[in-house]
Amino acid sequence: QVQLVESGGGLVQAGGSLRLSCVASGSIFSINYMAWYRQAPGKQRELVARITSGASTNYADSVKGRFTISRDNAKNTVYLQMNSLKPEDTALYYCNANAQTSLGAQGFRYWGQGTQVTVSS
């Protein structure tokens, strides 16, 4: 019912920047929040940043001051601006959204397929 498509990943040197995008489409009545998670091989998936319908944000301690999450409500798009990238930021980054498909319906979490971010030292 809801599809999320990420883009913007790639290879960058330490200290560089990348901007990730995630577009939500499908039968969307409302989106409660959108978020970015990441997962490296052998590690658990972790929350990187989250933005609510009220535009409040929160970040993992490891990315505070370096990453910025933002959204374009008209386009159902969330962005993650990543600056001062470090090798430890290397991971598959997933877009996540809690969305309702109709008025009164339960909100469900939807996931994108991920976009790879690789930071070289």
Q: What pLDDT, on a 0 to 100 scale, did the predictor assign at position 74?
A: 86
Hey, what are 23's tokens? 């577009």
Separation CA 26–CA 24 (nearest Å): 7
pLDDT at position 73, please? Answer: 85
State pLDDT tens for residues 62-109: 999 999 999 998 899 999 999 999 999 999 999 999 999 999 989 999
Q: What is the pLDDT of residue 1?
A: 83
Cα–Cα distances in angstroms (integers) from residue 120 to residues 12, 46, 91, in the given order: 6, 21, 12
pLDDT, one tens digit per residue, over 10-39 is 999 999 999 999 999 999 999 999 999 999
pLDDT of residue 53 exceeding 90, the answer is: no
